[in-house]
Structure 1
Amino acid sequence: MTKQISEEDVYLFHQGTHYFSYQFLGCHRDGVKTRFVVWAPHAKKVELAGDFNDWSGKGYALTKLDNAELWYGSFPDIQENTRYKYRITAPNGDTFLKADPYAFRAELRPLTASVIPSWKQYMWGDQEWELLKAESDPYHSPLLIYELHAGSWKRDDQNLPISYRVLASQLIPYVKELGYTHIELLPLAEHPLDASWGYQITSYYAPTSRHGSINDLKYFIDQCHQHQIGVIIDWVPGHFCKDDHGLRQFDGEALYEYKDPKKAEKPLWGTLTFDYGKPEVQSFLISNAIYWLKEFHVDGLRVDAVASMTSLNFDRPDSEEKLVNSFGNELNLEAIAFLQKLNEVVFHYFPKALMMAEDSSDLPLITHPTSKGGIGFNFKWNMGWMNDLLKYMELDPIYRKWHHQLLTFSMMYHYSENFVLPLSHDEVVHGKKSLLNKMPGDQWQQFANLRLLYGYMMVHPGKKLLFMGGEFGQYIEWRFQQALDWHLFDYPFHHALFHYLTELHKFYHHQPSLYQLDYHPSGFQWIDPDNHEQSIFIFIRKALDLENHLLIVCNFTPVVYYDFNIGVPTPGTYRELFNSDAACYGGSDQNNTEIHFSFPEGWHGQDQHIKIKVPPLAICIFQQVLESTEEELE
C-alpha cells in the first residue's frame, strides 16, 4: 500500500477526489525509514510521540508541507509493533495526543495508541471467487445473509472474543450447512467501547485488535471466499465517537466534524457528524470504503444509519429550533451529495460491490442510479416491512384479522427500491425480546409462529437477512458480552427449528421463483390478499420463464382448514412441495400428501380452483405438476 507523496496526491486530497488517500496519509514504509503524514491544518506544531521518546514528541517533529495543510516526517528508527500518537499543539497553545486517523492498526481497548503494523503482505487465494463474482448477478440470484457480531457469536473458555482464525474454522462450515450465501459482520473498525458494537469508531482504517491481526482478518475473509461465502461489513460514515484520542477537535478545532455544533452534535448517540461538505473528509471516508473493498476483498458495505445522515434534524428534540437547507427543507444536501459520490466511486472501481443502505426514512430513489437523480445504492434494507411484520407477529392470532394490512402493505411499495428483508440485531436488543420470545402463545405456538415468520420472509420478494441466534431460536435477547446459547441445540424444538431453516434455505436455492424476479412486478401475483377473517394470505411467485410458478398459502391462525378452496390460474394437478407444519420441523404434520386436481370452477378471480388442507400457523407451498414431471412420477 506504500505510495510516495506527489503534488497530485496533495491536490486530489484537498479536492475531495483522492480515493486512495490511505496510500500516502498515515504511516508507511519509505525505504529504510518510516514515513508519517497527517492532516492538521490548524495545528501550530505536530510531533510524533511514543515509547521511543517517552510520549514527549521530543526529537520527532513533523514538517508542514507548503500550502498543503499536511504535516510530514520520516524516521529511520521506528520499527513494526511500535506504539505512537501525534502530539499536536493547538492554536491556543494546548498540547494533546491523538491517534493516527489513517492508522492500519490500533491497540486493544482500553489502550488507545496507534501501532506500526507488520509490513508482511498477505497472499490471497480467492482468485476463483473473484472470477465468479465478476460474472454474478445479485439481483436475479439467491442472496441469504447471516448477520453476526464477531465478539459474541462464540467466546473462548475465559469468555473472551475468539480470534478471526478460530472464527474461520467454526463459522464457515456452520454457515455453509445453513445455506447462507453471505455473512454480514457488525463493524470491524477499532472502537473503544464494546457496548457500541462497533458503531462508534475511533480508527476507521484499523481492524479491531479484539480478534487478531490484519492478516488474520484477511485470512478469515479469504477462507470465506474459498468456501463460496461472500463477506459484507457494516460501515459507519454517519458519525464518530468523542473519545479524546479520536477525531473530535483533531487539531484543536473542528476538523472532521461540522464547525456548527448544531449540525455536528448527534444528541441521541452522544457522537459527532462528519462534515460531508469538506473535501478532505470526503477523501477520508471514500478512501476508507475503497480500503475495505480493495485491501480486505470484502464484497460489500452495509452503510449504517443513512437516515441520520440525510436528515438535518434526525434526532433533534421537538423543543429545539429545526435546521433547514437553502431550499427550506430538512435534507442534508451535503450528505446526499456525498452518498451519491461514494456510490459512483465504489461502482467505478468495484462494479459488483453490494452497497446496502440501512435507511429508515421515506426518502425516495435510494437504489436508483445517480444519473437519474437517485442516491446510487444497489440495495436498501426494508425497515418498514420489518416493523410491520414484527408488529403483526407479536399479536395474538385472534387479533390479527384487524391488522391484516400490516402484511399486505409492503407490496404497495416493494418495487420502488431493491429491498433486502432484514431481521437484524437491532430487533433483538434493548428490551425488544428475541424473535422467538416475541411470538405469542405456548411453546408449540411460539415455534410454529417463528417457522411461519421465516417461511413468509423467504417467499416475500426481496433478498434476506437474519441475525445470529435466530436460526435455532435464541430465547433471550442478544448479549454482546456473551456467546449465543449453544446449549439450546440439546432441546428438540430448537434443534428442529435449525433443521427447518436449513431445509427452507435449500428449498429457496432450488426455486428460481423465489429470487429471479424479486424486483420485477411480473414475479408476484396476489390470489387472495383480503381474507382478513381467517388471516390467510395466498399468492404466487414466478421465475423468469413465468411457467414453473409457486402457489403459496400462509395461515396466521392456529386453526386447521379442510377442503379449503384456492383459485389457480391454470388447469392441471398440483402438489405440495414444502410445509412448515411437518413433524420433522416440530409441527403437527397437517400435510397435503396427495396430488390435487383442479376443478373447472372459478375461485379468487381465477378460472380454476383446488381443494387443500391448510395447516395451522404455517406456510405451505404448491407447484403445478407439468407433463414432464407427471411422467417422472409415473
Structure 2
Amino acid sequence: MKNRLKLLEIDPLLAPFEGDIRLRDERYRGVKKQLLGGGGSLSDFANGSLYYGFHPTEGGWVYREWAPHAEAVHLFGDFNGWDREAHPCRKLENGNWELRVKGPVPHQSEVKVQITADGTFFDRIPLYVRRAVQDPLTFGFNGQIWWPDEPFVWTDGDFVRRRDTPPLIYECHVGMAGEEPKVSSFREFTETVLPRVKRLGYNTVQLMAVMEHPYYASFGYQISNFFAVSSRLGTPEDLKALINTAHGMGIAVLLDLVHSHAAKNTAEGIAAFDGTEYQFFHAGPQGDHPAWNTKLFDYGKPQVLHFLLSNLKYWLTEYHFDGFRFDGVTSMLYHDHGLGESFDSYQKYFSMNTDVEAVTYLQLANDLIREVSPNAVTVAEDMSGMPGMCVPIADGGIGFDYRLSMGVPDFWIKTLKSQKDEDWDLGKMWFELTTRRPQEKNIGYCESHDQAMVGDKTLIFWLADAEMYWHMDLNSHSDVIERAIALHKMIRLVTFSLAGEGYLNFMGNEFGHPEWIDMPREGNGNSYQYARRQWSLADSPFLRYQHLQAFDMAMIDLQNSGNLLGAPSNLQTLSHNRKLLVYRRGDYLFALNFHPVNDCKTKLPPPEKGRVWQPVLHTAETRFGGWMESGDLPPAGPEPLFLPRRSGVVYKLS
C-alpha cells in the first residue's frame, strides 16, 4: 500500500487528484535518477560552469562549448587579433567542443565564437561567459574573459541566514537606485543604499536585473547571458563586494532569477546558438512566448536541465547569494502560460494544460538549492495558486519556501481605482489578505516594482495624484494629502500584519516616492529622468515623505523586536458597519478604523490573566505626521478604546 502524501492531508480537496500528484512525484524521482545515473548528487551534476567556458590550465588555458548541431567552432578575439581561423575547437562527444591554448590570455580579453552549421557561419557569445560588454560603436556585445590577478577575498564566513527568520525584503534595481538620471553602479549601491536598507530594518535585499540583458528597458527580464553579471552595473568583483558588505550588515541577498524565458537575441544571447531553435528551447510556436516576445526553455531536455541547474549553483557558490525569487513561475507551469486564466477550480491545476516538465524542473531546482546552500530561501512568483507550491518535495509539493501574495496589490489597486472610502468592504479586505493555501507561506506586499512602472500607479499616486507635487511640504495643507498619508500608512500596516509570513517593499515606495519608473526607451527619447530614486525627499526635514518613512521603519520594527510574522493570525472582531477591523496575531493586537468621517469607540478583547496590552504604534503619532504625541496612549483597559477616523493602533502583550 502506498504511503499517503502529506500534501493530501494538508489539503483534503486534493483527494480527487491524488493520481496526478503521485505522477508528479514519480516523474521527479525518475528524472532525477536519469540525470544522476544512479549515483552522485544534484550538486555534482550541476557543475557546468566548472567544465564549460574558460578555465586556466597548467601552462595555458582551455575553452569548452556545447554546440551539438555545429559543424565547426572557432574562438576569436583581441587575444588573436580577431583572426577567425587561428583557433579552431576540437569536436568531442555529446556535442561538446574544446580548445586548448598554450600561454596566457590577457585579463579582459574580448572574444566571440564563430559557429559553422548547415554550410554557413555566424558569430555568437560563449554560453558560459562570465562577463559581456557592449561595443560603443556597434552597440553589440562581446564576451569578455574575466580572470583578475587577485581573487576576491570574502569575509562573510560568519553570516548565516536563518531559515526560521521571516524575510523582510527590500526589492531593488541597482541601476536606478541613485538620484542622478543615469545607470547607477554596484559600488554606489553598496555605499549609499545598503546603509539605508539597514537603517530601515529590512533583513533581505532582492536584486533585479543582475544577469546580463541587452535591452535595459526590459528591467532585466530578457536575459541574454545567464552566467554574466550586467556590465552596465560594474564588475563581478563589485557585485561580490556588495553581497559581502550586505552580509557584514546582517542582510541576506536574493537574486531575482529568470529561468522562465530568455531573450530572442541571437548575436548576444543563447537563442539559436548552434544554429537550431531547439538547442535550449521548444521548436516552433511552442518555443515563443506570445505576450513577452521571448524564447521558452524545453525543460524536458537533460542538457537544458544541466544548464539551468548549473546556473543556480553558480550564483550560489560564486557570488554567495542567499536564495532566489523565481520570476514568471505561472508562465512556466502552464502551456498557455496562465494568460487570461482565472484558476477558479482545482481541475485547472491538473490538466493537459499543465507543463509537467516545468514542474519537475522547479522541484529539481529547489532540491539542488537545499543541497548547495541549506539555509537558502526560494520565493515563487505564481499568481495561479498552484497547490503544493510551498510544500516540501518529500510531502508531494514543489519545494518553495514562499510564494508572493500577488492578488493583494491587485486588490488594493482595484479598490482605490473603483471605490470610495465609504464603500470599502472590510470583509472582502480580510478575505483577500488572509486567504492562502493551508500550511504554505506567503510574502505579503501591497505594491512592488510592477505597480511603480509607467502605465500603472503606486499607492501614493492613486491616493494623492498631482497633489503630491504641491502639498507635501510641512507648511502646506491639503485634505487630499491628509487622506493619502493616513491611508498609505493603514494599507501598509494591515497588509504587513495579515498578508503573509514575510514582507516585500520596492525601494522608495515606503516613503511614497512621487515618480513612476520609466526606463530609457525609444518612446521617451532614451531618457533616464524617471529611472532613479529621489532619496533626498525622504531625508528632507521640510517634507512629509519623512513621516511615511518613519512609519515604515516603526512597522518593520514590530517584526524585528517581536517576531510578528512568525506568529499565527486569528480574527477577534470584524465590524463592517463601522469600518472597524480588530484582530490578533501572536502577542500583537491590531485595531484599525477605516471610516473616512467617524471616530469610534470599541472594546478590545481582554489579555491573558496577569498581562496587559501596551501600545507600541499608532498611525496618528506626530513622528508619523499625525497629531498624537508618542507615549500619550495609555495601556488598554476595560474601558472602550477611542480610535479616530483613518487611524490604527497596535498593542503588544507585556
Selected match of 1:94 from 93, 102, 120? 120
Pairwise CA distance, 1:338? 0.7
How far apart, in 2, do the equivalents of 1:566 and 1:217 lie? 50
Structure 1: 5+ residue runs without aligned partners? 1-7, 319-323, 518-522, 543-548, 599-609, 627-634
Partner of 1:166: 188
Structure 1 residue matching 2:140: 3-state secondary structure = coil
1:51–1:84 contact (8 Å) kept in structure 2: yes
How far apart, in 2, do the equivalents of 1:198 and 1:10 lie? 36
Structure 1 residue matching 2:94: 3-state secondary structure = coil
How far apart, in 2, do the equivalents of 1:86 and 1:510 lie? 55
Partner of 1:515: 565
Instruction: Please list, as runs of the form range in 1=range in 2, the aligned pairs for 1:409-488 lying within 5 A after superposition.
Output: 409-413=432-436, 415-422=438-445, 423-439=447-463, 442-460=480-498, 461-480=500-519, 481=528, 482-488=531-537
Partner of 1:553: 591
How far apart, in 1, do the equivalents of 2:485 and 2:351 lie? 50
1:86–1:98 contact (8 Å) kept in structure 2: yes
1:388–1:407 contact (8 Å) kept in structure 2: no
2:282–2:297 contact (8 Å) kept in structure 1: no
**Does 2:637 align with 1:597?**
yes
1:397–1:557 contact (8 Å) kept in structure 2: no
1:12–1:18 contact (8 Å) kept in structure 2: no
1:580–1:618 contact (8 Å) kept in structure 2: yes
How far apart, in 2, do the equivalents of 1:576 and 1:395 lie? 34
How far apart, in 2, do the equivalents of 1:499 and 1:426 lie? 24
**Does 2:244 align with 1:222?**
yes
How far apart, in 1, do the equivalents of 2:38 and 2:393 lie? 25
Partner of 2:577: 533
Aligned residues: 578
1:303–1:355 contact (8 Å) kept in structure 2: yes
How far apart, in 1, do the equivalents of 2:53 and 2:340 lie? 38
Partner of 1:576: 615
Mark the CA change 1:368 to 1:316 in structure 2 (over 3 Å): closer, same or farther. closer
Q: Out of 233-242 and 167-176, give the one that drifted further.
A: 167-176
Pairwise CA distance, 1:395? 5.2
Structure 1 residue matching 2:509: 3-state secondary structure = coil
Q: Out of 587-596 and 249-258, give the one that drifted further.
A: 587-596
Mark the CA change 1:336 to 1:142 in structure 2 (over 3 Å): closer, same or farther. closer
How far apart, in 2, do the equivalents of 1:59 and 1:596 lie? 82
Mark the CA change 1:229 to 1:579 in structure 2 (over 3 Å): closer, same or farther. same
Partner of 1:40: 67
Q: Deviations over 1:308-359 (max 9, x none)?
A: 11110116689xxxxx99x852011111111111111111121110111111
Q: Deviations over 1:533-579 (max 9, x none)?
A: 2222111011xxxxxx2211122223342432334464675342210
Mark the CA change 1:175 to 1:306 in structure 2 (over 3 Å): closer, same or farther. same
**Does 2:402 align with 1:379?**
yes
Selected match of 1:124 from 123, 143, 154? 154
Q: Give the TM-score normalised by structure 2.
A: 0.83
Mark the CA change 1:264 to 1:505 in structure 2 (over 3 Å): closer, same or farther. same
Partner of 1:601: none
Structure 2 residue matching 1:576: 3-state secondary structure = strand
Q: Deviations over 1:190-209 (max 9, x none)?
A: 11011011111111111111
Selected match of 2:311 from 263, 269, 288? 288
Mark the CA change 1:259 to 1:622 in structure 2 (over 3 Å): closer, same or farther. closer
Structure 2: 5+ residue runs without aligned partners? 1-34, 342-346, 465-478, 520-527
Q: Give the TM-score normalised by structure 1.
A: 0.85
How far apart, in 2, do the equivalents of 1:224 and 1:72 lie? 38
Q: Out of 289-298 and 393-402, give the one that drifted further.
A: 393-402
Pairwise CA distance, 1:93? 1.1
How far apart, in 2, do the equivalents of 1:424 and 1:478 lie? 11
Mark the CA change 1:191 to 1:412 in structure 2 (over 3 Å): closer, same or farther. closer
Question: RMSD of aligned C-alpha atoms?
Answer: 2.7
How far apart, in 2, do the equivalents of 1:573 and 1:191 lie? 55
Pairwise CA distance, 1:25? 0.3
Q: Out of 69-78 and 200-209, give the one that drifted further.
A: 69-78
Structure 2 residue matching 1:458: 3-state secondary structure = helix
Supply the AA of the counterpart residue of 1:400. D
Q: Out of 479-488 and 172-181, give the one that drifted further.
A: 479-488
Selected match of 2:177 from 128, 153, 156? 153
Partner of 1:276: 299
- Percent of matched pairs sharing the same residue: 26
Structure 1 residue matching 2:511: 3-state secondary structure = coil
How far apart, in 2, do the equivalents of 1:307 and 1:534 lie? 39
Supply the AA of the counterpart residue of 2:205. I
Structure 1 residue matching 2:553: 3-state secondary structure = helix
Structure 2 residue matching 1:596: 3-state secondary structure = coil
Q: Deviations over 1:497-546 (max 9, x none)?
A: 1122122222331123x1222xxxxx2221123x222222111011xxxx
Partner of 1:621: 650
Pairwise CA distance, 1:79? 2.0
How far apart, in 1, do the equivalents of 2:558 and 2:429 lie? 26
How far apart, in 2, do the equivalents of 1:560 and 1:575 lie? 25
Partner of 2:553: 502
Partner of 2:569: 524
2:592–2:647 contact (8 Å) kept in structure 1: yes
How far apart, in 1, do the equivalents of 2:569 and 2:648 lie? 17
How far apart, in 1, do the equivalents of 2:340 and 2:73 lie? 39
Q: Deviations over 1:469-489 (max 9, x none)?
A: 112211221234332123423
Selected match of 2:379 from 356, 374, 388? 356
Pairwise CA distance, 1:12? 10
Structure 2 residue matching 1:420: 3-state secondary structure = strand
Pairwise CA distance, 1:381? 0.8
How far apart, in 2, do the equivalents of 1:11 and 1:49 lie? 39
Q: Deviations over 1:40-92 (max 9, x none)?
A: 01011111122345545211100111x321010012353221111110011x2
Partner of 2:10: none
Q: Deviations over 1:365-389 (max 9, x none)?
A: 1011112221111111111233223
How far apart, in 1, do the equivalents of 2:606 and 2:496 lie? 21
Supply the AA of the counterpart residue of 1:597. G
Pairwise CA distance, 1:103? 0.4
Q: Deviations over 1:204-249 (max 9, x none)?
A: 1111111221111111110111111111110000000111221111
Selected match of 2:142 from 113, 121, 144? 113
Supply the AA of the counterpart residue of 1:418. K
Instruction: Please list, as runs of the form range in 1=range in 2, the aligned pairs for 1:7-406 lying within 5 A after superposition.
Output: 18-53=45-80, 55-65=82-92, 67-76=93-102, 78-90=105-117, 92-108=118-134, 110-119=139-148, 120-129=150-159, 132-133=160-161, 136-138=162-164, 141-154=165-178, 156=180, 159-245=181-267, 246-314=269-337, 329-394=352-417, 396-402=419-425, 404-406=427-429
Structure 1 residue matching 2:132: 3-state secondary structure = coil
Q: Deviations over 1:274-294 (max 9, x none)?
A: 111111111110111111111
How far apart, in 2, do the equivalents of 1:621 and 1:328 lie? 45
Structure 1 residue matching 2:189: 3-state secondary structure = helix
Structure 2 residue matching 1:107: 3-state secondary structure = strand
2:282–2:296 contact (8 Å) kept in structure 1: no
Supply the AA of the counterpart residue of 1:508. Q
